[in-house]
Chains A and B, each alone.
Chain A
Amino acid sequence: MSFIQNKIDRIDKYLSDHPRVKFILPQALLLIFLFSIIGYFTFNASSNLAARGIDTGFSFLKNKASFDIQFSMIEFDSSMSYARAYLVGLLNTILVSAIGIVFATLLGFFFGILRLSKNPLASGLATVYIETLRNISLLLQIFFWYFTVLRLLPSADNSIILFDFVYANIKGIYIPRFVWTNLNYFIYGLIFTFVCVYIFNKYANNLREKTGKQLPKFLISLSLLFIIPFLIINIFNVELEFSYPKLDIQMGIANYIGGVSIIPELIALAFALSLYTSTFIAENVRAGILGIDKGQKEAAASIGLTNTQVLRLIVIPQALRIIIPPTTNQYLNLTKNSSLAAAIAYPDIVLVFAGTALMQTGRAIEIVTITMLTYLTLSISISIFMNWYNKKVALTER
């Protein structure tokens, strides 16, 4: 041991005697190391690719994809390009992540609060839920939902029918499709409504700060939200019709056509992702609420706030401040975990692009790089958005 100590001592002494070496040497070594590794890999890659007769570059993105994708939010068929296939995969990834984030947040808050309940039955249920689901591999949960639970659904000709318009069978869940007329006017109208509500709220806040007069903000906002769209619907003739899924039997094979079909892969994946992530969010929520000093609640009660006011004005804003940063991390994890879709063949970016497209073109380097950069961009954009939101709710010390 003393031998090692001596050596380290001598290195340290040498470095402190030669500050220039201390500054330049490690950095130069790192740079040399990096460049030689990159050079080595590039050299190998180019000679390997040349030997196999694969050319490089991103021109393949324009080529015809000639494969079909089972589920896509935009139009796609096999005559379209790889770039279009990439876009389909990306949109599917975003779709399942968005669904997962919404449900994980709702479930997470529900179970996080339930775990703090004084009722032993309620807190016990929440504890079992959290400790079971978070300690089981996510991939296993996806398989479980997909191969075991959803396989229990009946075949197409005797589907489960909910409320007369939702049909569930082993091929997926079918819901009516919205058919709009003059949808664009309606959307402009909605945007206009939100702007109005925003301006009104600003005005009301200003008024309160200047004169102390309280306007019934919530009521007026709500009525604005109803009245303006109602007017627009009537003036511009906006209409909504439903196209219901219909049972169609061709050559003895039953199938539903029309309507929107939600494939079982999406359901299984969304289920597993939201349940798994909700356990982590629940723990964050619990920590956030426990992290608030009891004195805060007591002080709020002593100045005469009601119970709901204490919760809404004192507890929740402070708890959010503790909850948001770790929850952002969970959103990022959920987005990255959605790549497990490939295991059950949900056509997300990994399956469509890093799977099928890679097999067809053999462009391993380009495709893996694009896929990784896509996820990096997604991760960075979520974290930028959440940092902005975090800054908004963060403590402003004056």
Chain B
Amino acid sequence: MKVLNYIRKRFFSSPIDAFLTLSIGYLIYLTIPPLINWTLIDATFSGNTKKDCVAGGACWVFVKMWFNRFLYGLYPNEEIWRINFAFSILIISIIVYRFLNPKFKKYLFIFLVLPFPILSLILFSGGLLGLPTVDTSEWGGLFLTLVISIFAIIFCFPIGVLLAMGRKSNLPVIKYFSIGFIEFWRGVPLITVLFMAGVMFPLLLPSGTNLDKLVRVIIAITLFEAAYMAEVIRGGLQAVGRGQYDASKAIGMGYWKSHIFIILPQALKLVIPGIANTFIALFKDTPLVFVVGLLEILGMVNLAKTNPYWLGMATEGYVFVAFVYWIFCFAMSRYSLSIEEKLKTTN
């Protein structure tokens, strides 16, 4: 009786409610069983070719056979350990970071932000210490997605801080330059920025210089994201109380000292969730690099589905990529939410 009462109250409290419950129930009945059939029950997991998929459901053999290509692009198979090595170090450091005492945390953080990216770039491209060179045109897949988004976010951070401070500056040239810069990049779509990187950058450099395509793309995305980053950080700067500015001035701190040691640490702590959201947006935008011919994970799927031996596998490929994107973005957004909650309680 209690159960019945509960059901009546939660699902059938009014005619509209009852209608909603019934129609959603019908919708679930229509969609979920076929979906489970397709992805799991009728799906094929074992085999090596398209011919092994006879069950009528999803052909996960496609994803299995192309898995390395989706993750690493055209990176040579015998060199893949380099990527695995660098990303394992990254993951281990992030896990260790949580349990370290604050004194070492600082050093680990500096290591992760400055020397580590440079070292891993050297490792990826090779050419030193007897490692064979891997051209950036062979980089691809999820690996390229991560390289582009991580490097762009690292580079755009200092530019964003400077722009945010510039927008609040009382020097007119600096202020209006910052406003113009921020509003310009926020007003144009990323795809036109990438077009610019692809076809316009080479014209602006001295003839004969051949700037790598990947470098051009990272520069373009950095400039673009710096504008968004600046707006996020500006929000933090505005949230720091007026008293903090006055107090640091009163004890004789100048502009730079008060900003570096008093204002920015507080402001940046406030905007960690905003930075995480910027990173998520950037991560979701990386597939656009197809306009300059780089193939990240979605590009690799588009390449694989046109392979004559694997025609008609688009759905499986897209579902796989969607799953990867969803895992990354959902995890990051939950993480940023948890930080937000934590900040709420401490302040």
Residues of A bordering B, CB below 8 Å: 5, 8-9, 11-13, 15-16, 23, 26-27, 30-31, 34, 41, 44-45, 47-49, 51, 117-122, 125, 131-132, 134-140, 143-144, 147-148, 336-337, 339-340, 342-343, 350, 354, 358, 364-365, 368, 371-372, 375-376, 379-380
Contact = CB atoms under 8 A, between A and B. Distances in A.
A29 to B, nearest CB: 10
28 contacts: A5-B257, A8-B256, A12-B255, A13-B254, A27-B172, A30-B177, A34-B177, A44-B206, A51-B207, A118-B13, A119-B13, A119-B17, A121-B20, A121-B24, A122-B21, A136-B329, A139-B298, A342-B291, A343-B290, A350-B189, A350-B191, A354-B195, A364-B199, A365-B203, A371-B192, A372-B188, A379-B186, A379-B188
Q: Which 6 pairs, one residue from A and one from B, show the smallest C-beta to C-beta distance?
A: A12-B254, A336-B189, A135-B329, A27-B173, A339-B189, A379-B187
Majority secondary structure of chain A interface residues (helix, strand, loop or mixed): helix
Nearest to B177: A30
A44 B318 contact: no
For chain B, the bracket of interface size reads 35 or more
Contacts of A122: 17, 20-21, 24
A135 B330 contact: yes
A30 B20 CA distance: 60
B147 interface: no
B188 A144 contact: no
B256 A27 contact: no
Contacts of B184: 376
Contacts of B290: 139, 343
Majority secondary structure of chain B interface residues (helix, strand, loop or mixed): helix
A132 B298 CA distance: 17
A336 B325 contact: no
Contacts, number: 161
A139 B288 contact: yes
A362 B186 CA distance: 27
B189 A8 contact: no
Contacts of B126: none
A26 B171 contact: yes
Nearest to B326: A135
Interface string B171-207: 1111001000000101111111001100110111111
Interface in B29-85: none
Contacts of B177: 30, 34
B314 A147 contact: yes
A31 B173 contact: yes
Nearest to B254: A12
A44 B204 contact: yes
B219 interface: no
B254 A15 contact: yes
Interface in B200-218: 200, 202-207
Nearest to A51: B207
B189 A375 contact: yes
Contact of A45 (B199, B203, B288, B314): B203
A350 B318 contact: no
A354 B192 contact: yes
Interface string B315-347: 100100110011001100100000000000000
Contact of B203 (A48, A143, A147, A380): A48
Given A122-B24, A131-B330, A379-B188, 9 more contacts: A5-B257, A118-B10, A135-B325, A135-B330, A137-B321, A139-B290, A140-B321, A365-B200, A376-B188
